[in-house]
Amino acid sequence: MNAIPTESELDWVLILAPLRKDAEYIAASLREQEVEVKGVKADGNLVQHLALSPGIIVVTHEALTSEVVATIAEHLAEQPDWSEVPIFILLERTAAVARIRNQLRASWPDARLLFYTRPIAALEFLNAIQSNMLVRLRQRQVRDSIERERELRLELNHRVKNILASVASIFHMTRRGAASVDELTSDFTTRLQALSNVHTAVFEAGGEEVSLSAVVDLTVAPYNSDGMSRINVRGPGIIVNRDAGTTIALCLHELITNAIKYGALSQPGGEVEIVWTISEGDSPELYLNWAEAGGPPVREPTRKGYGTRYVRSAFGSLFGSVPDIAFAPDGFRCSVRGPLLRLAPQQQGDPD
């Protein structure tokens, strides 16, 4: 007979057998098959043992007192919907089996009741225990599946709300800077496409983390077509979380849009350099720099447009420090730095 695995997800057996040597005999047989067993008498220890959530309960005829039945009933009433605890009832051959069965089914309606008449063959009993331990394992797998589905629904709801909030913010800020309906339509559409692109990159990377290089490359790729590389990118390979990847991509999109309209990318010979580095030490920082060259002379605008406002706000929130934006005559500059830990993927078990 195959032994029951000892993985932590498998349950243990609680034996309630106050008389004779039933508890020792049953426990010895089960432990030979590597089943964890705990024995208890019908006293205060029963409540304590039930609080430890046994997977299977074995009750002998002598233990079926009104107090024990009531205590187990209270335990069963506290079980979650997925849990149907198997309870083995070992009755004497002379017992009023039908009456006891009816009473226990009425008292323990949410349990999986299995009645046996003693003496019972050891092999038959062990097989029954093993089968019901597997049943309990399946119940726990259902529980885990239900929990995962619930978490996925919550996460989906959270992501949809965040996306809709981003879309609403993009629309309102684009509308304030648009001079015409056509300009509003064009700018809003391109910004939504940028949002879509970065969500695609994160999804293809696995959903919760993404390579910073992949995010940047995807964002600049449409502007480095036809064999031309007007946006040069370099930096070490690092992994960032989904929100950081999204924010960086959208900020870069705004900087590119501004460079095409007014900056280096508005001139045939203009170029942009995107560089990021990581400082050394116990608390490394990520330094991200955008520098334009070869464009028209730069003059600071009289009012801040959508792109500048968004970049300042988004980078500031992500990095924990306000970005340095400089309208230098020889080329627009934007740099920001902050703890790498703020951008790192959340580790399993970390608090939200």
262 shares its domain with 200: yes
- CA trace torsion 303, 308, 312, 313 (10° rounding): 90
Provide CB contacts within 8 A for 1, sequence distance 6+. Answer: 33, 123, 126, 127, 130
Q: Give which of 306, 340, 311 is closest to 325, Cα–Cα.
A: 311
| CATH code, domain carrying 203 | 3.30.565.10
227 has a pLDDT exceeding 70 = no
Q: What confidence score (pLDDT) does residue 211 get? A: 87
Q: What confidence score (pLDDT) does residue 2 get? A: 40
pLDDT tens for each residue of 306-346: 678 888 988 999 999 999 999 998 899 999 999 999 998 76
Q: What confidence score (pLDDT) does residue 236 get? A: 94
Residue 315 sits in which domain range? 178-342
Count of residues in the chain? 352
Separation between Cα atoms, residue 83 and residue 319, nearest integer Å: 46
Q: Classify residue 234 by its DSSP letter.
A: E
Q: What confidence score (pLDDT) does residue 71 get? A: 92
18 shares its domain with 93: yes
Q: Give a yes or no: residue 120 inside a domain.
A: yes
Q: What confidence score (pLDDT) does residue 159 get? A: 64
286 shares its domain with 220: yes
120 shares its domain with 196: no
235 has a pLDDT exceeding 80 = yes
Q: Give a yes or no: residue 162 inside a domain.
A: no
Q: What confidence score (pLDDT) does residue 165 get? A: 66
Q: Domains in the chain: how many in total? A: 2
Q: Give a yes or no: residue 165 inside a domain.
A: no
Give residue 150's identity as a one-letter amino acid code. Answer: R
User: Looking at the DSSP assignment, which residues form a beta bridge with residue 232?
Assistant: 273
What are the structure tokens assigned to 253, written together? Answer: 């999109």
62 shares its domain with 196: no
Would the pTM of this model clear 0.85, i.e. be above it? no
131 shares its domain with 71: yes
